[in-house]
Structure 1
Amino acid sequence: MSKNFDTSIKAQLVLRRGEWLEIATKAGVSHSWISKFVNGHIPNPGYATLLKLSEALGPQRRAPSKQAAAV
């Protein structure tokens, strides 16, 4: 499994912390599973689970840049 994929999913989950219950439901995992994964308590989440999370997260959202926020 690519660590970049793992890290990308974690980063997206951190940005969308308030949506974990909805994401968990869509991905077929529990809210507590997502919390454990983000906090490093699940070292090998499995590729299939990461794919489900990726699908549940949808298109990658980026945080607005400081420059864009100032405009």
Structure 2
Amino acid sequence: MIIIDKTVCRRIAHYREKRNLTREELAANVGINLKSLINIETGLRIPRINELVQLATGLGVSIDELVNNE
């Protein structure tokens, strides 16, 4: 079972920063509204599964890397 929580949100921000992308660049690259991305990264909103897929693709990581709690 996949649990999407604030840890996932922090990982999205971590991988974005690791790849030297701004929030604006990532949002534009994956087709997500900038405000939505900000809310996701700050944990105000949990990403929907389709957004999670888009973000993982845009960050060059697997969904497993974003949600795995190990």
Task: Report the TM-score when normalising by structure 1.
Answer: 0.59
1:28 deviates by 0.7
Supply the RMSD in Å over aligned alpha carbons. Answer: 2.9
Q: Is 2:24 the partner of 1:21?
A: yes
Alignment of 1:1-71 (within 5 A): 2-3=2-3, 7-8=7-8, 10-15=10-15, 16=17, 19-43=22-46, 45-59=47-61
- Which of the pair has more CA radius of gyration? 1
Question: 1:52 corresponds to which letter in structure 2?
Answer: Q
Distance of 2:5 and 2:30 partners within structure 1: 16
Q: TM-score, normalised by structure 2?
A: 0.60
Alpha-carbon offset, residue 20 of structure 1: 1.4
Gaps of 5+ in 1: 61-71
SS in 2 for 1:52: helix
- CA distance in 2: counterparts of 1:5 and 1:20, whole angstroms: 20
Number of residue-to-residue matches in the alignment: 59
State the distance in 2 between where 1:58 and 1:48 align: 15
